[in-house]
Amino acid sequence: MSEENVVYIGSKPVMNYCLAVLSALQGGGSTVALKARGRAISTAVDVAEVTKNRFMENLNVQMIEIGTEKMESMEGQMRNVSTITIVLKKE
């Protein structure tokens, strides 16, 4: 999967990411990956569902991958942060 077909989810509104997903799919690709970690995971799930139910009826979830990354906190301690990758495929 090329780098332009990856949407990194952060703290912006859900609709911003939905438009990014639609743009990636209109650009010729048939798959797009949503990547998020920590509190943005719920936003990533919302983006996948809103895009699938409102904008593209022929969009399916191809794969969901979850994991954990070790990150250093502001205080210098190591923390575990959850991650998710949701791959959407246009049928």
Give the pLDDT confidence of 30-49 residue by residue, as tens digits: 999 999 999 999 999 999 99
Q: How far apart are the first and last CA of the chain?
A: 16
Tokens matching residue 73: 């906190």
Any residues with CB less than 8 A from the CB of 85 and at least 6 apart, and which?
33, 34, 35, 63, 64, 65, 66
Q: Given pLDDT bands bounded at 50, 70 and 90, which one contains residue 28?
A: confident
| The pLDDT of residue 1 is above 60 | no
Rounded to 5 degrees, φ, ψ at 62 are -85, -40
Query: What top-level class would CATH report for the domain 3-90?
Result: alpha beta
More confident residue, 2 or 75: 75
What global pTM score does this model have? 0.89
